[in-house]
Amino acid sequence: MKIIICISNVPDTTTKVKFVDNNSAFDTTGVQWIINPWDELALTRALELKEDANNPVSSVTVVTVGLKTSEPTLRKALAIGADDAIRVDFQPGDAYSVATQLAEVLKNNPYDIILNGIESSDYNGSSVGGMLAELLDMSSISAVSGIKLQGEEIKVTRDIDGGKEEISITAPFVGIVQKGIAKEPRIAAMRGIMMAKKKPITVVEPVAVDSLTEIAGFELPQSKAACKIIDADNVKELVELLRDEAKAI
Amino acid sequence: MSVLVYTENWDGRFKKLSNELVSYGSKLAEMLNTSTTVLSIGKVDEAELKSLGKYGADKIITVTDEKLATLDNRAYTAVIAQVVEKEKSGIVLLSNNNTGKAIAPRLSVKLKAGIASGITAVPEKTSPFTAAKKVFSGKAFAKFVIKTDIKILTLAQNSYEIVEKTGQAAIESFSPSVSNDLIRTKVINVEKQTGKVLLTDAEIVVSGGRGMKSPDNWGKIEELADLLGGATACSRPVSDEGWRPHEEHTGQTGKIIAPNLYIAFGISGAIQHLAGVSSSKFIVAVNTDKDAPIFEAADYGIVGDALQVLPKFVDAVKELKSL
């Protein structure tokens, strides 16, 4: 069984977001790039599945769509433990253009379990995983917070409003994962970092694709009015303000 | 060129988010001078279906195929696409909840329709179709232009005011073609908590962070949430430590919420946490550090120990509610 994780290269979650060129483009100056947090959790779970000798997992691959500048993020995934990596040499446009590039790779290279994070922390579209599944005409399960293998059967936990469902499926399928899939992302050890340097990154030429959407510009949210501070000995006053001024309780 | 709204049901009932969707869809239809059709999949009785007319649905299409009893994303996508074709819909609107996130992108490919997800307001322009949505986890807005004929939108929960109207909705049933080999998922077990207010639905959310010191101190958080008819939440370190379940984690990588009132006890307000709660109408912060970033996002604050303030807060609410 082969697992592949689609990885997005995103600004570190602590980045102070700024724009340039009259608010038409994200300012990448000084930005640290990381593996999208949900993708990192998916990778962690995939490695756990592979390490359990009861599971028939033969390899864990990562793939990203991006220019050469995204390779450090792939190296990080290799250092964490992925066996190999694929990069489609394409400047990401909208979600559809990214999903189309991924679909091309996966049509030529079948995998059994295809994992995506439920969203990326830059454009928050929650789109690529579902689009990829439809492009491949494959089943997908979204909001996945658990995956277990039992021989050929895959048991997937999906979060629903106020609960969870357990779903049975067989390969191939697309899993779109959220928090809970793994406890914490794995951190690369020195040995992993050294080994990652020798692991292969296959670079794939992109296909031609038109975006379905574009971004006409960005805006920063308006800053908020100052916080009204109430004395710690006068909690009742706060509760009264919430009732009478905010009318919120 | 109608507007098609898809809403799921919860054990045969709609909820506030359904009414928000229909209100928003009806507003779009008004802007585009067309009608609003709602699609419901699953067993919902007639009175409940008709209730959506109050929010501006002109027509309700109901699909009750047994094969669709559980959510299979591939099958649901095929069914919605059939309805879009039949109704010649120009816009398809879904919620940006888990179900909408599961279906909308598939539908986007199936219909070759561009998607703007998690929008919070009506489009700025309908030609070219331009809708603002939050990006960088709420740190900025982007104006998304959809270039295709059919457009897909997903609406963020608790972001659009419900508007009541006087209209009546006509109900029509539809039998889609659903081939058996489309459905490869099988739900084998369901676990549901009943009687609890859901975090994503809640008008009031009471949340705790590391300043709560120990999971043993959560009783008062729960008591306050119960008193206010709200839900409980927590910061990331708290869920990472296993003090609270991951479903309660609110923030950039957890749940993004937009309640009317968010009360944070012992949360310093890391940028990732604020990304998940900044859409709340009112934020109250209780923290020992007066320079904590949470106070920049908050409307009301107390500089003090959460463990000292929380019991007083509970007592004051009881007193005001004369309990």
Ranges of each domain in chain B: 3-182, 204-320
Select from A17, A213, A231 the Cβ nearest to the Cβ of B139.
Answer: A17
Model confidence pLDDT, tens digit, residues B222-267: 999 999 999 999 999 999 999 999 999 999 889 999 999 999 999 9
Give the amino acid at B104. Answer: A
Which residue is associated with the tokens 């609003």?
A: B36
pLDDT value of position B73: 98
Mean pLDDT of chain A: 96
- Which residues 97-126 on chain B approach chain A with CB closer than 8 angstroms? 97-98, 101-110, 112-118
Q: Do domains B3-182 and B204-320 have the same CATH topology?
A: yes
pLDDT value of position B85: 97
Confidence check: pLDDT of A2 > 70: yes
Strands A2-6 and A113-117: parallel
Query: DSSP characters for B6-74?
Result: EE--BTTB--HHHHHHHHHHHHHHHHHT--EEEEEES---HHHHHGGGGGT-SEEEEE--GGGSS--HH
Which residue is associated with the tokens 């929008």?
A: B119
CATH of B3-182, one of 3.40.50.300, 3.10.20.30, 3.10.129.10, 3.40.50.620: 3.40.50.620
Q: Do B143 and A128 touch (CB under 8 A)?
A: no
Q: Assess contact for A93 and A206: CB atoms under 8 A.
A: no
Percent of residues, chain A, with pLDDT higher than 70: 100
Q: Do A166 and B70 touch (CB under 8 A)?
A: no
Give the amino acid at A234. Answer: N
User: For chain A, what are the domain ranges?
Assistant: 2-222
Model confidence pLDDT, tens digit, residues A125-163: 999 999 999 999 999 999 999 999 998 899 999 999 889
Q: Which two tokens stand for residue B138?
A: 């709420």
Q: Which two tokens stand for residue B271?
A: 């940028």
Question: Topology of B204-320 in CATH?
Answer: Rossmann fold (3.40.50)
Its ipTM equals 0.96
Which residue is associated with the tokens 């949340």?
A: B207
- Judged on CB neighbours under 10 Å (0-12, 13-18, 19+), B189 is exposed
Is the domain A2-222 a CATH 3.40.50.620 member? yes
Interface check A140 vs B, CB under 8 A:
yes
Q: Which residues of chain B have pLDDT under 50?
A: none
Provide the angle, in degrees to the nearest 10, between the axes of the packed helices B98-111 and A128-135.
Answer: 50
E-only strand ranges, chain A: 2-6, 9-11, 19-20, 25-26, 33-35, 59-65, 84-88, 113-117, 140-150, 153-160, 163-170, 173-177, 201-204, 213-219, 228-230
In chain B, what residues touch A184 (CB-CB under 8 Å)?
A: 240
Q: Do B187 and A166 touch (CB under 8 A)?
A: yes
Interface check A121 vs B, CB under 8 A:
yes
Which residue is associated with the tokens 């995103």?
A: A10
User: How many helices (DSSP H) and strands (DSSP E) are in chain A?
Assistant: 6, 15
Interface check A134 vs B, CB under 8 A:
yes
Q: Do B108 and A131 touch (CB under 8 A)?
A: yes
Non-local (6+) Cβ contacts of B139 within 8 A are: A17, A220, A221, B271, B275
Q: Do A228 and B278 touch (CB under 8 A)?
A: no
Q: Assess contact for A98 and A213: CB atoms under 8 A.
A: no
Tell me which chain B residue has its CA closest to the CA of residue A159.
B98
